[in-house]
Amino acid sequence: MTEFEQITELLIRLGASEILAKTMASQIQKRCDQWAKERGMSRDEAMTQLLQRIIKGRNGEMPMRDNRSGPGASSQTEI
């Protein structure tokens, strides 16, 4: 079974339709390659982190914050 097929199967098990799962699997593979290059990590490590985020998100868990600023970064302070 190819990586694409494995990711698609995982996404279907998490509740995505087959068509959506295939689209998402392709996007995840592309993002994995981007992360590996941008973050200087192995492709396996990048894929593991992406899939962990997907599973946590599906379970309603909040992702751990990274130390980068940008969209989604909180600038709120306690009063």
pLDDT of residue 65: 62
Q: Where are the domains of the chain?
A: 3-58
Half-sphere exposure of 55 (CA within 13 A, CB side): 9
Q: Above 80 in pLDDT, residue 17?
A: yes
For 1-79, where are the alpha helices, taking DSSP H only?
Answer: 3-13, 18-39, 43-58
pLDDT tens readout for residues 32-66: 999 999 999 999 999 999 999 999 988 888 766 65
Global confidence as pTM: 0.74
pLDDT of residue 44: 96
